[in-house]
């Protein structure tokens, strides 16, 4: 199909979808997400309302060394090939990427969230961290990135303004990774801007999301809502 025609028809579809489908507001609930089996990883909707069961553990966890990082933490095997390629391409362009955070279990996320509550108070913690079960990191398909030899990305004004972060924001989707919480989209994504947090949904879904994003600015949360039964 002609690419322009395809983009136009998808834009039209997106317009219709937006009329029929109103994205629910960010309400803090604890509902088990409908697609919560391990093989649903690409389309499991997690936000402030929907969560994973406490005993959800991803299948096929492997160490990040498999993707060429000097890092023993875990991710799902399914994203290794694309992550390895993305890492090599970033390095070849002279702005290597590294991993700040990888798979996080339910129990670990619980301690992370409570740390932020103690440090910054509940209201701020809810915008910058996920309650246990609600974190995409529990899927094993999410990584927080930083620049090689760089500081923690949240210690910078805007990591997406660095060479590595900017390249990721423009190109990560081609490797199947989508920035979950983009700039200026807090009302839609329910979290404050996180230029370092990328979720792997695979190249095919990421390309579908990208087309919708180009046409309407659709965030990943909105796209996942459209995939939900
Ligand atoms: Zn993250």
Q: How far is the CA of 143 from the centre of ligand 1 (A)?
A: 6
Give yes or no for residue 146 having a pLDDT over 80. Answer: yes
Q: How far is the CA of 215 from the centre of ligand 1 (A)?
A: 26
Cα distance between residue 120 and residue 210, in whole Å: 34
Cα distance between residue 186 and residue 190, in whole Å: 5
- The two tokens of residue 30 are 């604890």
pLDDT on residue 22: 80
Q: How far is the CA of 128 from the centre of ligand 1 (A)?
A: 9
Buried-state track 47-85, b at ≥16 Cβ within 10 A, e below 16: bbbbbbeeebebeeebebeebebeeeebbbebbbebbbe
pLDDT in tens, 3-45: 666 666 665 665 555 555 688 999 999 999 999 999 999 999 9
pLDDT on residue 7: 61
Cα distance between residue 171 and residue 166, in whole Å: 9
Q: Tell me the domains of the chain and their CATH numbers.
A: 25-204 (3.30.1380.10)
pLDDT in tens, 72-117: 999 999 999 999 999 999 999 999 999 999 999 999 999 999 999 9
Q: How far is the CA of 19 from the centre of ligand 1 (A)?
A: 31
pLDDT in tens, 190-223: 999 999 999 999 999 999 999 999 999 999 999 9
Give me the mean pLDDT over the 110-130 stretch: 97
Phi-psi category of residue 217: left, alpha or beta, with phi > 0 → left and psi -120 to 50 → alpha: left
Quote the DSSP letter at residue 23. P
pTM: 0.92
Cα distance between residue 122 and residue 220, in whole Å: 25
């Amino acid at each position: 199909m002609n690419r322009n025609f395809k983009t136009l028809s998808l834009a039209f579809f997106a317009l219709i979808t937006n009329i029929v489908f109103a994205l629910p507001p960010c309400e803090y609930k604890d509902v088990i997400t409908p697609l919560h089996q391990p093989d649903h990883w690409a389309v499991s909707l997690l936000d402030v309302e929907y969560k994973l069961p406490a005993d959800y553990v991803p299948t096929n966890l492997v160490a990040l060394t498999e993707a060429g990082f000097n890092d023993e933490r875990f991710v799902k095997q399914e994203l290794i090939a694309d992550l390895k390629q993305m890492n090599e391409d970033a390095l070849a362009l002279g702005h290597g990427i590294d991993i700040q955070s990888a798979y996080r279990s339910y129990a670990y996320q619980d301690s992370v969230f409570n740390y932020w509550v103690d440090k910054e108070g509940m209201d701020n913690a809810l915008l910058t961290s996920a309650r246990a079960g609600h974190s995409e990191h529990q899927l094993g398909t999410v990584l927080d990135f930083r620049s090689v030899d760089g500081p923690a990305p949240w210690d910078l004004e805007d990591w997406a303004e660095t060479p590595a972060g900017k390249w990721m924001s423009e190109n990560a989707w081609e490797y199947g990774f989508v920035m979950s919480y983009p700039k200026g989209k807090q009302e839609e994504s329910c979290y404050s801007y996180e230029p370092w947090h990328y979720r792997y949904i695979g190249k095919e879904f990421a390309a579908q999301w990208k087309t919708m994003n180009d046409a309407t600015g659709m965030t990943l949360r909105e796209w996942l809502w459209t995939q939900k039964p």
